Structure 1
Amino acid sequence: MQSRLRVQGHPIQPMLVTFPYGLFVCATIFDFAQVVGGPALLGEVGYWTVVAALVAAGLTTMAGMVDLWDVPPDRTRRTAISFNLVNAGMAGLFLLSCLVRADAPNRGATAVLLVVELLALAVGGLGVALGARLMRHYEPGRAEPTSFDALRGTGRPRSAAAPRGAAVLGGVDARTVEIVRPRP
């Protein structure tokens, strides 16, 4: 199954999902700083960060729904639906926080709303795990390395011809790379 929405061969939803997650985390940090005694401005910034995250979450959900059309009706479809529902649940908890704060004079957070936001981030952590499972299923060649192989560029082992300490670029011995000059 290939995603319908792609940019240069890469699915869009995994790219988009980073925006609401990052904005929700930033909003929680701003709200935490305001609740522990920071200026009221931090609560206002946290509120508007949640608003921006909710817009990004809406766009991400639409991209996920378009991709859901092509998922075969099996365990993968259940995982994709669970992923989208978990992300919607996280966004719903932040929406609740946002709606409660909308009538406040400075839109600052309270300790109770901060706990709701932390709960929403915990739900979002489950969404990250489900999203990682989907990515491993749909693009198995793009699995992330689990060791220091990522520092070399790929997860492939070092060439037997390359001596220890030789520069390896993307799994290729740097001495074997040729520079081809254009012909006049």
Structure 2
Amino acid sequence: MQSRLRVQGHPIQPMLVTFPLGLFVSATVFDLTDVIGGPAFLGEVGYWTSVAALVAAALTAVAGMVDLWDVPGDRTRRTAVAFNLVNAVMAAMFLLTCLVRSHSPQRGASAAILVTELVALAVGGVGVHLGARLMRQFDSGRAESGSLDALAGSTGEIARP
């Protein structure tokens, strides 16, 4: 399967997934620091980091839906759909915490919000596992990336410097 959205031959969606996941982890760390007694502004930083992660997750979901259009209807498609659904569930859980916090003047975190974020990150861990499986399924027909065959051009010759 070839992704429609590519940069220099590499699919965009696997690259984009790292942004919301990293931002969600960062937001949880900020909120953890706020809950355990750190400076109060870290709760607001965690809130705005979650908002940025939700924007990144929306863009990633669009790229994922475009890629999903061309996935063959077999095990790979089921894995791709599960991957996108799991990531959507994680984003929805963070959206819920953002909506709860949006009514607070300081947008600080609470223990319940922190627990929800930790559960959402656990769901995201399942998404990482599914994403790795998906990449292995996409790469199953190609040469091993660590072998010399991966360096071969379209003629089968190894490019020499």
Q: Which amino acid aligns with 1:155?
A: G
Q: CA deviation at 1:139?
A: 2.0
The percentage of counterpart residues that share the same residue type is 71
Aligned counterpart for 1:155 among listed residues 140, 146, 150: 146
Higher relative CO (Cα under 8 Å, sequence separation at least 6) belongs to 2
Name the structure where helix makes up a greater proportion of residues.
2
Partner of 1:60: 60
Structure 2 unaligned regions, length at least 5: 152-159
Matches within 5 A, 1:80-91: 80-91=80-91
Q: What is the aligned residue count?
A: 150
Q: Distance in 1 between matches of 2:123 and 2:22?
A: 14
One-letter amino acid matched to 1:79: T
Aligned to 1:93: 93
* Structure 2 equivalent of residue 14 of structure 1: 14
- 1:73 maps to 73
Following the alignment from structure 1 to structure 2, what is the Cα–Cα distance between the partners of residues 128 and 92? 17
- Deviations 1:76-100, CA, capped at 9 Å, x for gaps: 1111000000000000000000000
Query: How big is the shift at 1:137?
Result: 1.0
Larger Rg: 1
For 1:67 and 1:7, how far apart are their aligned partners in 2?
13
Equivalent pair of 1:136/1:142 in contact (CA under 8 Å): no
Using structure 2 for the length normalisation, give the TM-score.
0.88
Task: Measure, in 1, the Cα distance between the counterparts of 2:146 and 2:72.
Answer: 30
CA root-mean-square deviation:
1.8
Match of 2:124 in 1: 124
- C-alpha change, 1:3 and 1:31, in structure 2 (3 Å) is same
TM-score, with structure 1 as normaliser = 0.77
Query: Deviations for 1:13-47, whole angstroms, at most 9, x for unmatched residues?
Result: 00000000000000000000000001110000000
Unaligned runs of 5+ in 1: 144-153, 158-169, 171-177, 180-184
Q: Secondary structure at the match of 2:2?
A: coil
